[in-house]
Chain A
Amino acid sequence: MREPRPGPLAGVRVFDLTLWMVGPWAGQQLGALGADVLHVERPGTPPGRLGNVPPDVAGTSAGYLAWNMNKRGLGLNLKDPAHVQAGLDIAAQCDVFLVNMRPGVADRLGLGYEAVRARHPGVVYCDINGWGHEGPMAASPGSDGVIQGYCGFWSLNGQDGEFYRHYTQLDASTGNLVVLGVLAALHHQRRTGEGQCIRISMLKAAMTVQAVPLALTLAGEKLRPRGGQSQLTAPDDIYTTADGLHLGISVTDDAQWRGLCRALDRPGLQAEFGTNAERLASPALGEQVRAAIAANTRPYWLWRLRAERVPHAYPLTFDELKHHAGVHALGLLPTVPTPSWGPLTTGGSPWRFGRHATSWTAPPLAGEHTAEIGAEFGVRLP
């Protein structure tokens, strides 16, 4: 008998009919929180064909492995009506249904909201796509790089606007907002018995994540990339110390500004630039701080800034993070044993609950758990 997953969502069942990144990422988080997530793949899909984001790890795309942990594998051939029927029989017993197909495709397959709701009126059905259900781009493919470029995310990065390369951002944050919407709808469902359909697009989620710069733009402000500098507060930048090392300092309020002036031994600066607006508007202040920081070593500044409670940090490397006591203390970067791919290190849970565990387990092979799921749900799979 299968051990139930621990976590605050223990007992919640999720039918995960998702592809690529956004949907799988959402299902994976629900699984980390304890839900029983049934991830659908075409039966018999070889490990080398599960996803195609390079590199492969032991023959399978790192993308598939990084986005499908914490799930069981359910094999369904959606072109076979008998398989679709079996899928509906299982979905009718699930609390949540996740799908990220282009608009209309799930309906055509017989797995749209109306079809699932007819079997289970209380279902929380979440329909995710790239660009929304209306408009000239509704049928266009959406991916993280495309959305980053289109949605202005590049326009504030670095010195001249650039792709936040090698770092999934707006696909993963869409998945995060999917999870939040689903959990809120489950709360309503538990209270009232009422299910519903949630629609969300990568476009809208990307704009939600960028709500602050977009609101500034709507108010007529012209934002430009500022290198390491904040758009909102100053001094808040990446500096170089006398030993040639990088050090970030963030002054986000007047108390921290007073602390920085003490740390710099420059009490006169404090009154000269008394408000954040004055500090932000003054390139001269930026240069003065830059020169002051360049006059001493990083260990010296770490000592002074910590004593004055001025927010600061220096960049860690991936290797340093893997062995960092703070990372281990929070249970981050867990290494997950897997039977097919060896040990996989992943990011881990962003939440720690006082009363509940969260867990990260191996991603499934396509259809790996079809037989046991069929038996548990009382559904005969053709």
Chain B
Amino acid sequence: MSDTRGPLDGVRVVEIAEGVAGPQAGLLLADLGAQVCKLEPPAGDRSRAWRDGELVFRVLNRNKAGAVVTGTADALALARQADVVVIDTDALARWPALAPLVDEPVNVVLRISLFGAEGPMAGLPVAELPAQLLAEATASVGDAAHPGRAGVDIGSTYAGIFGAQGVCAALLAGGPDVVDVSLVGALLMMRSTLWVALSSPDEWWGFHLESYHRPPFRGYACADGRVYFDMRHAASVDWDAFLTELGLTGARDDPRQREIMMGGAGPGARYADAATPVWEQAFRRMTMAEVTEVVTRHGGDVFRVNDYPQLLAEPQVAAAGNVAPARGAVPAHIRPPWEFSATPVPDATAAPPLGGAIADAGWTTGGTS
């Protein structure tokens, strides 16, 4: 009895959350086939005003029905009919009457916060940059004088993914439950490799330990763009021939420089920071295609460093087939990442327009009304 409505078909979700994190959780559940009804304040989800126009909102809230909260009693009643509620601490602060959803849960409730819904950091508004700063993520972008941010909203996005996981796990366990996910917790968890490496390393090196004193890495500059290259997967390398072919005879002939080049072939390598400018002396004279030819012939790997337009033009992306063209009110977007053999994910439907009464929202048999 295969269907084409996704593995979560029949799961009813009410989403009362704004911005990225909560809506991302609701979107993933909707992508997986759940029927999601989004409740917004009368002024709308704040992401309707982001960038210029409603595109961000329409991408994060496709596949959902929607209504506006004019009275909390209606919202509470609708949320209690659902199998799942996705709510953030901003919504709980705005509408204290919704507190029974988490205090006396009757279904699976995902509660998103910046840094805990309870405890000493409770009550902080949910936003991306504070999460990146609190979780120390900004130390890995820019430099000490100019800390940067990850251009992608990783704290919010990861919290959304972990939130959807938590919902599914609680549904599998059965019974009502409250699942708490914080943006800071999501980012700290994603840094587990570093935390383990910090535990008691045998030697203080390795790209997981060097956040503070390595300069930003931007790829290897070639004549017509930047590439990533490394020799990690080479079974063996004829370094004499490789360095000679690249015209790096100094590195070939000087044993100390040779050691640095061999141990610095790739951004994660031991001497990468010292070796990168030397590799670039050769690469800058070559096109990316020429670098690729030489390096792969010597057993290494080369990948182009792309911006988004370049990525979207890659043949491999065309083969992946996960870019959905614009269709009606649904903007061009990235399709969900999974191919399910028995329960293919449904095609996207448009995000809800602002407005609509809760009385008209909710579900009828077989899906949202």
Contact = CB atoms under 8 A, between A and B. Distances in A.
B200 A177 contact: no
B141 A346 contact: no
B199 A169 contact: no
Contacts of B162: 176, 350-351
B356 interface: no
Contact of A165 (B47, B172, B178, B216): B216
B167 to A, nearest CB: 9
Interface stretch (A82-90, A132-140, A364-372, A373-381): A132-140
Contacts of A269: none
B59 A350 contact: no
Contact of B189 (A65, A219, A347): A347
B7 A209 contact: no
A213 B152 contact: yes
A212 interface: yes
Interface stretch (A72-80, A292-300, A314-322): A314-322
Contact of A353 (B177, B196, B326): B177
Contact of A204 (B138, B315, B320): B320
A313 interface: yes
A266 interface: no
B139 A330 contact: no
A213 B189 contact: no
Contacts of A153: 151-152
A165 B140 contact: yes
Interface in A195-232: 195-201, 203-205, 207-219, 221, 223, 225-232
A289 interface: no
B301 A351 contact: no
Given A66-B192, A165-B140, A149 B228 contact: yes
Given A248-B133, A315-B138, A176 B51 contact: no
Given A55-B203, A66-B193, A185-B7, A136 B130 contact: no
Interface stretch (B250-258, B278-286, B333-341, B358-366): B333-341
B200 A198 contact: no
Given A207-B334, A213-B151, A227 B341 contact: no
B130 A250 contact: yes
A359 interface: no
Interface in A112-146: 113, 131-132, 134-138, 140-141, 145-146
A43 interface: no
Contact of B196 (A57, A254, A277): A57
A173 B127 CA distance: 20
B116 interface: yes
Nearest to A117: B341
Contacts of B203: 54-56
Interface in B212-256: 214, 216-219, 226-228, 230, 233
Contacts, number: 517
B316 A9 contact: no
Contact of A150 (B126, B306, B337): B306
Interface residues of A, number: 155
Contacts of B118: 329
A348 B196 CA distance: 11
Contacts of B153: 212, 232
B171 A187 contact: yes
B194 A167 contact: yes
Nearest to B29: A184
B303 A149 contact: yes
Contacts of A187: 7-8, 11, 168, 171-172
Contact of B179 (A66, A161, A332, A351): A351
14 contacts: A9-B169, A67-B193, A163-B267, A168-B190, A207-B334, A208-B336, A209-B158, A212-B56, A228-B148, A276-B50, A315-B136, A315-B147, A347-B195, A350-B181
Given A53-B208, A277-B52, A326-B116, 7 more contacts: A151-B311, A154-B218, A176-B162, A207-B334, A230-B128, A342-B199, A355-B173
